[in-house]
Structure 1
């Protein structure tokens, strides 16, 4: 089974402190899925500022858990930052949302959250 997140950076940061890793996994579950929902609605409504702010907020956690979508998330963020009205960001948004959904389900299962 393909894993949709990695813990290498997290383990290094936490010095393998399992309680700390669990706390960060819990924070991921509490924040990232709801941020992803906000991001989806912001893009759908062409709310550029909220798109930028939400994507920017998600970047450190997405990077820390190595979801493999940082570049896609940055494209969504930049779409909002620079109000790229002539660009369709839907494909990149869907990549981000799909990865967040898969990683969330996996983290919940792996950490019994």
Structure 2
């Protein structure tokens, strides 16, 4: 089964401290799915500022856990930042939301959270 997140950067940051890795995984689960729901709501309501702010907030964690959708998240962020109303951002949003959901499910399982 393909893994939807990677711990290379997390392990590097934690310098081998498994307890810290566990805290980072828990923090991911507490924050990223909530932010993803906010992002979805912001896009659906054409709230460009909230879209930009939420996507911007999510970037470091998405990058650290290497979900593979950082560039797509940046496209969603830029849609909000530059108010690119002519672009249908929903397909890009769907990619980000799917990656977050898959990674969250795997992290829950892998860390028994």
Same fold (TM over 0.5): yes
Q: State how far apart, in whole Å, the 1-side matches of 2:76 and 2:51 are.
A: 7
Q: Pairwise CA RMSD of aligned residues?
A: 0.4
Q: State how far apart, in whole Å, the 2-side matches of 1:63 and 1:20 are.
A: 17
Aligned length: 113
User: TM-score of the superposition, structure 1-length normalised?
Assistant: 0.99
- Give structure 2 stretches of 5+ with no counterpart: none
* Deviation of 1:39 (Å): 0.3
Partner of 1:25: 25
Superposed counterparts of 1:68-107, under 5 Å = 68-107=68-107
- Give structure 1 stretches of 5+ with no counterpart: none
* Deviation of 1:70 (Å): 0.1
* Deviation of 1:16 (Å): 1.4
User: TM-score of the superposition, structure 2-length normalised?
Assistant: 0.99
